[in-house]
Amino acid sequence: MSTEPPAVPAAPAAPKPIRIAPIVTPDAKTFWDACDREEFIGQKCGDCGQFTFPPRPMCPHCHSLKREEVKLSGYGTVHSWTIPRHPPPFGFREAPIVVVVQLQEGIRMVSNLVGVKPEDVKMDMAVEVAFDDTMNKHKVHVFKPRTA
Ligand SMILES: [Zn+2]
């Protein structure tokens, strides 16, 4: 019988992300590339100045083809939310909170809400952007309760 002390177990590695990477279309490539750098950018019309989301070649307000990529505040409020439980969402350890966020810039986007219990989500609660790792070393934007 060995008298050696038991080996000290190695510190557990951070769990590998199971969230699937975003499907990157040509129009949205700039947005997703920025997410990989943890930057949150949006598209603004170079003529009428209105923000649009998702990114697209033509302004839906004035039909201009001039697009500007601009940094977004990352601040918004909860417009709506749901928790898809059946069938179990692929790529998540637990059912995510799917949220529609109204950004300060006036656009809405679908994302996930993290860092809050489902029963604590409220209409119009203040949220801010954060980033979550996906498979294949990419990142996606998520929102968490605003701290500042
Ligand atoms: Zn426009």
Asked whether 141 and 126 are in contact (CB, 8 A), the reply is no
Residue 3 covered by a domain: no
pLDDT by residue for the chain (148 residues), tens digit each?
A: 556 766 776 667 778 899 999 999 999 999 999 999 999 999 999 999 999 999 999 999 999 999 999 999 999 999 999 999 988 888 998 999 999 999 999 999 999 999 999 999 999 999 999 999 999 999 999 999 998 7
How many whole angstroms from 61 Cα to the centroid of ligand 1?
5
* Residue 27, beta-bridge partner list: none
Asked whether 113 and 102 are in contact (CB, 8 A), the reply is no
Q: Look up the domain containing 78 and give its range.
A: 73-148
Residue 9 covered by a domain: no
Residues 142 and 112 in one domain: yes
Both structure tokens of 87: 């069938």
Residue 14 covered by a domain: no
How many whole angstroms from 60 Cα to the centroid of ligand 1?
7
Q: End of a domain among 7, 42, 72?
A: 72
Residues 31 and 61 in one domain: yes
Pick from 140, 118, 121, 120: nearest CA to 131 = 140
Residues 84 and 36 in one domain: no
- Residue 105's CATH number: 2.40.50
Q: End of a domain among 48, 72, 96?
A: 72
Give the pLDDT score at 88. Answer: 86
Rounded Cα distance between 89 and 98, Å, is 11
Q: Is 12 helix (H, G, I), strand (E, B) or coil?
A: coil
State the total domains in the chain: 2
How many whole angstroms from 48 Cα to the centroid of ligand 1?
4
Residues 116 and 80 in one domain: yes
Give the pLDDT score at 76. Answer: 98
Give the pLDDT score at 13. Answer: 73
Q: End of a domain among 13, 42, 72?
A: 72
Residue 4 covered by a domain: no
Give the pLDDT score at 14. Answer: 74
Residues 52 and 28 in one domain: yes
Residues 78 and 29 in one domain: no
User: Rounded to an integer, what is the distance from CA 80 to the centroid of its chain?
Assistant: 15
How many whole angstroms from 109 Cα to the centroid of ligand 1?
19
How many whole angstroms from 42 Cα to the centroid of ligand 1?
14
Give the pLDDT score at 118. Answer: 95
Q: What is the pTM of this model?
A: 0.87
Give the pLDDT score at 1. Answer: 53
